[in-house]
Amino acid sequence: MAIIVIVDSREYRTAEEVVKNLRRLGATVVERQLEVGDYVVSERVAIERKRAHDFLSSIADGRLFEQAKKLVEHYEKPIMIVEGSIWSALKHRNIHEHAVLGAMITLILKFNIRILFSRDPETTAFIIYDIAKNEQEKEKKSIKTVTTRKTATIKELQIQFLASLPGIGPRRAEALLKEFGTPLEALNNLKLWSRVGIPESTIALVRKVLTSKYGEEASEAHVDISSLIKSSEASKNDKKEQEKTSKIGIFKFLEES
């Protein structure tokens, strides 16, 4: 099975060593303009890569937590890779080490972002490849489970229908059905979806999907990949429900592109 890694266009240009090593490991690297993250390896996992000095700069100018917020909104399991030695870089910056430790603790406890440390671009590539391999092997099993299922209840089909919308997933789909009763009523009351905790950015994207004419964006220079391969927002407790849900998969998208 080919391991696919989607790389943001800007990252693709500035991380040549990472990309080269990903290909050396056997990954199929696909360049796309991503709204969130530097690397996307599955519907639920996006990776933000920061070199040590950039990590410190993002703490100083406040970018770090803005990026963290977007990662969490779009993906169930966001990961941040810090490349190089923070403590060596800190010697040349006017930032107290307590601020750095506090920022990392905030990322872990408040945003639930996993932080991994890498020695160099080669190590970073290995980490990304290994995460992609684990995620995509798991996704392949999940797809097999869905395709062998022969029947579904009305409830399951209703959840499946709403969950297929970008950024919704089975948990939010069920919350919408409990609030509005039917999928049709939920769609008719799109502007009220914030009642069940759905962010305005997600509501705006769903509205765009539902109201845009077919093919009208075909001439645009890039595709909003991150919107199409967002996490299904399913927790471990929703694993069985997630297996019932038909998602817009990363491989299906690439085949149709």
Cα–Cα dist 75/64, whole Å: 16
pTM to 2 decimal places: 0.56
| pLDDT number for residue 212 | 86
Last residue of a domain, one of 125, 142, 159: 142
Contact 82, 116 (CB under 8 A): yes
Give the Cβ contact number of residue 59 at 10 Å. 20
For residues 134 and 31, state if they share a domain. Answer: yes
Task: Pick the closest to residue 30 from 18, 17, 49, 12 (CA basis).
Answer: 12
Count of domains for the chain: 2
Q: Are residues 108 and 38 in the same domain?
A: yes
Residues 6+ apart with CB under 8 A from 162: 168, 172, 173, 176, 177, 183, 186
| Token pair for 188 | 């008719």
Looking at 142, 167, 190, the residue that finishes a domain is 142
Helix pair angle (63-74, 52-61), 10° resolution: 100
Q: What is the mean pLDDT of residues 136-151?
A: 50
For the cut 80, the answer to whether the pLDDT of residue 84 exceeds it is: yes
Average pLDDT of the chain, as a whole number: 82
Residue length, the chain? 257
CATH of the domain at 101: 3.40.50.10130
Same domain flag for 196 and 116 = no
| Interior/surface letters 80-116, b for 16+ CB within 10 angstroms, e for the rest | bbbbbebeebbeeeebeeeebeebbeebeeebebebb
The parent domain of residue 73 ranges over 3-142
Q: What is the mean pLDDT of residues 75-99?
A: 93
Question: Do 11 and 101 sit in the same domain of this protein?
Answer: yes
The tokens for 134 are 């684990």
pLDDT of residue 216: 66
Residue 152 structure tokens = 């579904």
Q: Is the pLDDT of residue 247 over 70?
A: no
**Based on the domain organization, do 10 and 104 belong to the same domain?**
yes
What percent of the chain stands above pLDDT 70?
A: 78
Task: Characterize the bridge pairing of strands 27-32 and 3-8.
Answer: parallel
| 158 shares its domain with 238 | yes
Could you tell me if 129 and 153 lie in one domain?
A: no
**What local confidence, expressed as pLDDT, does residue 122 receive?**
97
137 and 10 in one domain? yes
**168 shares a domain with 105:** no
Q: Which residues contact 212 (CB under 8 A, 6 or more apart)?
A: none
Spatial separation of the C-alpha atoms in residues 203 and 86, rounded to whole Å:
38
Which carries the bigger pLDDT value, residue 167 or residue 79?
79
Both 53 and 128 in a single domain? yes
Q: Is the same domain home to 9 and 116?
A: yes
Task: Give the C-alpha separation, 43 to 51, whole Å.
Answer: 25
Q: What band does 228 get if pLDDT is binned at 50, 70 and 90?
A: very low
Whole-number pLDDT of residue 111:
93
DSSP letter string, 1-41: --EEEEEEHHHHHH-HHHHHHHHHTTEEEEEE--SS-SEE-
State which of 109, 142, 175 marks the end of a domain. 142
- Are 55 and 159 in a shared domain? no
Which token pair is 244?
């019932």
